[in-house]
């Protein structure tokens, strides 16, 4: 038990020091900007690859992933509009 | 030490079910559902719980004996909750208007339809509180009262989330273009960076309390919730980060939804705003500022010790925070006000 308490005390000190050090490092503009650059570069590559894939898909006359997403979204929006209408009709019935 | 590990594994295998309070689905639309908790003795104006859009709703119904929703139901309240569900790829096109005016609006009207006054109490947690606040400012006629739990209103603060949102080299439009919805692992990684050693200290704390079965049950429940996140719908994320975090438009009174200005001074219903001293996700001053902006006469502010999640779901909360909220509701039931008059 004593061994655990001693180890725990040491851990707590290490944790406090490391946490404040890491928070400082992470908030450093150099680290933040570099991470931002890296993530942006990755996203640029992904967006470009998705776009070329969509172009190829579209060139053979097939709907792209984005087309399908837009269609599904439009269906969901239509469901919501129908529910709006139902609500209005119920309200008119009540009045 | 082996005994500790053995007990942790044993409790992990027998961990209680999360979100177990019985509830019925009273409405379902796209991915979200409106749940009404079952109760034999519910009465009064319903309470609609609005959790954050990017976390599971069951943080407010964590596990039997440690569930805020279960507690409210046991106190005789009629409790509803929004389960936002899991956004799919097509939900990248959902807008802030769809969420606030469409979905929250519908949930409010549905809950209010069960109310003796035709209105409902709103309780928003974290981003859910921000959304509830925006809704009430625009469409407050069916809102009896508002309770905000750690809900950010002023986003331009010294918190790390605010700093992350302003990294100049991070292209948010590109993020949404590439991913559609912002992936939850990316957001979770960001949250871990807020307290980089948190996971390690949680593991050590768990070892220390390895003999406390009650603690372990709660620990596993909260870890289950903490690792069960959902992605952020792309278009909503863009507006949220750009207009709220980067430009702080809600606090400035310059935030627009569907062409309408969100003027927080339009909020006139009773308000209880609850903030937490050690909240590293929503610095308490960023939430407390709401009381200065609303039109309510003497809005209530409750400032408590504790962090963003622990203070809401802990054993301590069941003896302090939850009864305080329930009593506040009892004091703001229209019938109670009539009796006082």
pLDDT tens digit string along B59-83? 999 999 899 999 999 999 999 999 9
pLDDT above 90: percentage of residues in chain B: 72
CA B316 to each of CA B16, B74, B304, B327: distance values in angstroms, whole numbers, following the listed order: 19, 17, 11, 16
In a shared domain, residues A75 and A57:
no
Integer Cα distance of B9 and A31 in angstroms: 38
In a shared domain, residues A55 and A82:
no
Domain tally, chain A:
2
pLDDT at B339 over 60: no
Least reliable range by pLDDT among B32-36, B143-147, B334-338: B334-338
Q: Do A37 and B169 touch (CB under 8 A)?
A: yes
- Quickly tell me which residue has 């609609």 as its tokens: B48
In a shared domain, residues A49 and A67:
no
A44 contacts in B (CB within 8 Å)? 171, 174, 178
In a shared domain, residues A72 and A55:
no
Arithmetic mean of pLDDT, B211-218: 89
The pLDDT of residue B340 is 44
CA B276 to each of CA B148, B254, B298: distance values in angstroms, whole numbers, following the listed order: 12, 27, 20
Catalytic option among B83, B126, B217, B248: B126
Residue A48 sits at the chain B interface (C-beta within 8 Å): no
In a shared domain, residues A9 and A46:
yes
Is residue B121 part of the annotated active site? The answer reads no
In a shared domain, residues A47 and A13:
yes
pLDDT band at residue B29 using 50, 70 and 90 as cut-offs: very high
DSSP B246: I
B196 contacts in A (CB within 8 Å)? 18-19, 22-23, 26
Q: Are strands B32-37 and B77-83 parallel, antiparallel or unpaired?
A: antiparallel
pLDDT at B270 over 90: yes
* Segments making up each domain of chain B, as ranges: 2-340
pLDDT in tens, B305-317: 999 988 888 888 9
Q: Which residue has the higher pLDDT, B159 or A52?
A: A52
pLDDT band at residue B24 using 50, 70 and 90 as cut-offs: very high
Q: Do B30 and A76 touch (CB under 8 A)?
A: yes
Say how many CA atoms lie within 13 Å of B20 toward its Cβ. 11
In a shared domain, residues A1 and A34:
yes
The pLDDT of residue B88 is 96
pLDDT at B167 over 70: yes
Arithmetic mean of pLDDT, A28-37: 91
pLDDT in tens, B81-133: 999 999 999 999 999 999 999 999 999 999 999 999 999 999 999 999 999 99
pLDDT band at residue B337 using 50, 70 and 90 as cut-offs: low
Of A42, A46, A80, the CB nearest to B29: A80
In a shared domain, residues A49 and A95:
no
In a shared domain, residues A56 and A68:
no
The pLDDT of residue A11 is 92
Give the residue numbers spanning the domain of A90. 63-95
pLDDT band at residue B319 using 50, 70 and 90 as cut-offs: very high
Q: Nearest CA to B101 among B138, B127, B54, B130?
A: B138
| CATH 2.115.10.20 at B2-340, yes or no | no
Above 0.90 for ipTM, yes or no? no
Residues of B with CB under 8 A from a CB of A: 29-30, 88-94, 98, 102, 106, 109, 160, 163-164, 167-171, 174-175, 177-180, 193, 195-197, 200-201, 204, 208
In a shared domain, residues A40 and A3:
yes
What is the token pair recorded at B111?
Answer: 């809950």
In a shared domain, residues A25 and A54:
yes
Integer Cα distance of B135 and B258 in angstroms: 12
pLDDT at B336 over 60: no
B170 contacts in A (CB within 8 Å)? 35-36, 39-40
Q: How many Cβ atoms sit within 10 Å of the Cβ of residue B62?
A: 27
In a shared domain, residues A71 and A93:
yes
């Amino acid at each position: 038990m004593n061994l655990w308490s001693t180890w725990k005390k040491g851990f707590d000190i290490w944790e406090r020091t490391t946490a404040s050090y890491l928070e400082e490092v992470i908030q450093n503009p150099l680290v933040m900007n570099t991470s931002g650059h890296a993530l942006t570069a990755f996203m640029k590559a992904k967006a470009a690859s998705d776009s070329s894939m969509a172009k190829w898909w579209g060139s053979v006359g097939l709907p792209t992933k984005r087309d399908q997403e837009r269609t599904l979204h439009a269906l969901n929006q239509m469901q919501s509009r129908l529910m709006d209408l139902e609500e209005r009709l119920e309200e008119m019935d009540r009045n | 030490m082996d005994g500790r590990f053995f007990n942790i594994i044993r409790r992990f295998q027998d961990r209680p079910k999360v979100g177990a309070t019985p509830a019925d689905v009273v409405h379902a639309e796209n991915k979200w559902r409106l749940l009404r908790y079952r109760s034999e003795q519910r009465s009064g104006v319903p309470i609609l719980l609005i959790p954050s859009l990017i976390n599971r709703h069951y943080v407010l119904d964590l596990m039997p004996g440690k569930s805020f929703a279960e507690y409210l139901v046991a106190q005789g309240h009629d409790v509803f909750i929004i389960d936002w569900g899991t956004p799919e790829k097509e939900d990248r096109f959902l807008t802030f208007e769809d969420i606030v005016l469409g979905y929250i609006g519908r949930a409010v009207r549905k809950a209010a339809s069960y109310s003796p006054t035709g209105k409902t109490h709103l309780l928003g947690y974290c981003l859910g509180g921000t959304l509830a606040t925006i809704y009430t400012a625009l469409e407050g006629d069916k809102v009896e009262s508002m309770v905000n739990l750690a809900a950010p209103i002023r986003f331009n603060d010294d918190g790390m989330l605010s700093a992350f949102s302003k990294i100049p080299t991070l292209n948010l439009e590109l993020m949404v273009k590439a991913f559609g919805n912002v992936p939850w692992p990316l957001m979770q990684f960001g949250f871990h960076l807020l307290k980089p050693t948190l996971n390690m200290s949680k593991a050590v704390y768990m070892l220390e309390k390895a003999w406390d079965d009650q603690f372990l049950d709660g620990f596993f429940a909260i870890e289950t919730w903490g690792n069960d996140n959902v992605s952020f719908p792309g278009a909503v994320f863009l507006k949220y980060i750009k207009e709220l975090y980067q430009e702080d438009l809600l606090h400035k009174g310059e935030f627009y939804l569907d062409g309408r200005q969100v003027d927080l001074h339009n909020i006139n219903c009773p308000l209880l705003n609850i903030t937490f001293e050690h909240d590293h996700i929503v610095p308490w001053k960023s939430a407390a500022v709401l009381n200065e902006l609303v039109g309510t006469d003497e809005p209530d502010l409750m400032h408590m010790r504790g962090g963003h999640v622990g203070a809401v779901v802990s054993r301590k909360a069941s003896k302090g925070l939850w009864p305080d909220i329930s009593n506040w509701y009892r004091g703001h039931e229209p019938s109670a006000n009539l009796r006082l008059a």
